[in-house]
Amino acid sequence: MKIDLAKPAAIGFAAALVLTWQLLADLGLVSPVFFPSPARAIGVLVDRINDQSIWLPIGATGLRMLLGWAVASLLGVVIGAAIGSSRIARDLLEPTLEFVRPLPASAVIPVAILFLGLSNQMSIAVIAFGAIWPVLLASVHGFSSVQPELRQVSDVLGFSRGAFIAKIALPSALPDIIAGLRVSLAIALILAVVTEMQASLSGLGWDIFYAQRIYRSADLYAGLIVLGAMGFAGNQLLMQIERRLLLWRESNN
């Protein structure tokens, strides 16, 4: 019977990090005003769970993250499929996209505020702008890497261009697309927090920013723990979806 030691080792490493954090806090090398112990941070988190004050910020941040990520994912796959499958689309779209892609999403926030104000729509637009690139680039690579033999088979079967993309190109590109989606989700969470801080929108980002301003470091670290848990949960969910959608890849291995 094969024993998988990866998970116990990962849990042990995480526990060692928390223990090191606790020891450093107990030594008092840094003022507890700026560096609270994990016990204090977790205590704040437990209190917020008990009084249910944590759920509204989690819901607000999570909703912005998911909406922005969904828009980015849809546009990224569609545009990536067009560029990866059509030379005409590649020639038309690539120069503009290569000009826009290096722009930091944080630099777009002032422009988004001018057009959309300090609103949820502004936050979602900025999240979508920043999170689209991993999906788009992964989709371009996936669709452009379809084997020529599969294209020839689709021609022999008389597939239309839409049928070829849906039945052959998309399944072939799916591993690349899902990898891009996972990276994109992490970026979406980061930008949700950034826009909340910039625009004073309710959510975990604003809670962390406000805790920093009033020197409540335990509250700040509690917010960071929640953000880490959200990112971890989202990534694990996508990994489970990936395993279910790509069972054929595991069987081939």
Let me know if residue 170 belongs to a domain.
yes
pLDDT value of residue 115: 92
Residue 8 lies in a domain: no
Residues 216-248: tens digit of each pLDDT:
999 999 999 999 999 999 999 999 988 888 776
For residue 21, being part of any structural domain is answered with no
Residue 5 belongs to a domain: no
Query: Looking at the predicted structure, is the pLDDT value of residue 70 above 50?
Result: yes
Residue range of the domain that includes 228: 37-252
Average pLDDT value for the chain: 87
- The pTM (predicted TM-score) of the whole model is 0.89
Is the CA virtual torsion 123, 128, 134, 137 positive or negative?
Answer: negative
CA distance 108 to 225: 28
Find the CATH number of the domain harbouring 90: 1.10.3720.10
| Cα→Cα distances 7→11, 14, 143, Å | 6, 11, 34
Domain-located, residue 138 = yes
pLDDT in tens, 21-45: 888 888 888 888 888 989 999 999 9
Residue 18 belongs to a domain: no
Tally of domains within the chain: 1
- Average the pLDDT over 62-77 and give the result: 96
- Are 217 and 35 within 8 A, CB to CB? yes
- Tens digits of per-residue pLDDT, 155-166? 777 777 777 777
Is 203 part of a structural domain of the chain?
yes
Report the amino acid identity of residue 24: L
Would you state the pLDDT for residue 249?
60
- Answer yes or no: is 13 within a domain: no
